Homo-oligomer: A and B are copies of this chain.
Amino acid sequence: MSRQNTPSLVVMKSTLSRLPLYYSYISRLEAEGVESVSSVLLAQHLNLNPVLVRKDLAQVSSVAGHPRTGFEVKQLLVDIDNYMGYNKLDEAILVGVGSMGRILLTNSKFAKFGLNIVVGFDKDPYLCGLQLEGKHILPMEKMESLVQRMGIRIGIITVPDDQAQDVCDQMVKCGIKAIWNFAFVPLKVPEDVLVKNENLPSSLAVLAHNLAVKSSTTSKINTLEDN
């Protein structure tokens, strides 16, 4: 049966968070010249349930998988590309060129996933004017005009916790519609702005606690799935 699927717009958040994993692994397969991949194989490599993988892929793939062989690698990559918008590079700005900010600013890995951080802002005058691997660092005052001129919608906050809300407010004022927040404080935003918090301590908490429980009982838990 050759399904001609129109990927649905509505998709589980959990599915969404797994797609980059599939993409990453399938990319490697493609590089190795592999032509097709089964849900079972993917599941094994990524420590997931095969049915789960199938359901995920069904959501995004334009072509049905073939019984006995699985999914076509190239097509799958194209589909995920399209679905996630990896192909149409989203532009973003970053505020707070500290240690974490620098990583994000200079890590080319994000470009592969559709995010292009075009410039970093910082209030430190000694940083402003510098470049990090080609990325300019500008003073905060330039943010508004640049964001509006370029029509940027994504902002990344990597400032110390106590400045996060302030920076957030400025971003919103400039017209930023989605914020990736690395500060460990909840941000208050208007209805129409999205926030995704990146909380390392939370991850840590899950790990450390499971370890503690594990060493007292004998749990069977092994891999904690990603978020």
Among B21, B24, B193, B222, point to the contact of A189 (Cβ < 8 A): B222
Which of B113, B191, B194 meets A205, CB within 8 Å? B113
Query: Which of A19, A200, A213 gathers the greatest number of chain B CB atoms within 10 Å?
Result: A200
Q: A1-25 CB contact bits vs B (8 Å, 1 = yes)?
A: 0000000011101001111110011
Chain B residue numbers with a CB within 8 Å of A186 are: 21, 25, 45-47, 223
For this complex, into which size category does the number of interface residues on chain A fall?
Answer: 35 or more
Partner of A17, one of B19, B21, B195, B205: B205
A25 cross-chain contacts in B, Cβ below 8 A: 186
Known interface pairs A18-B202, A103-B99, A202-B18; A227-B224 also in contact (CB < 8 Å): no
Query: Within the oligomer, what is the number of copies of this chain?
Result: 2
Interface residue A221 (Cβ < 8 Å from any Cβ of B): yes
Contact between A178 and B18 (Cβ–Cβ < 8 Å)? no
| Docked-complex contact A178 and B17, CB < 8 angstroms | no
A130 CB–B CB distance under 8 Å: no
Instruction: Kindly list chain B residues whose C-beta atoms are within 8 Å of the C-beta of A212.
Output: 85
Q: Which residues of A contact B (CB under 8 A)?
A: 9-11, 13, 16-21, 24-25, 45-47, 83-85, 90, 99-100, 102-103, 106-107, 109-110, 113-115, 153-154, 177-178, 180, 184-186, 189, 191-217, 220-224, 226-227
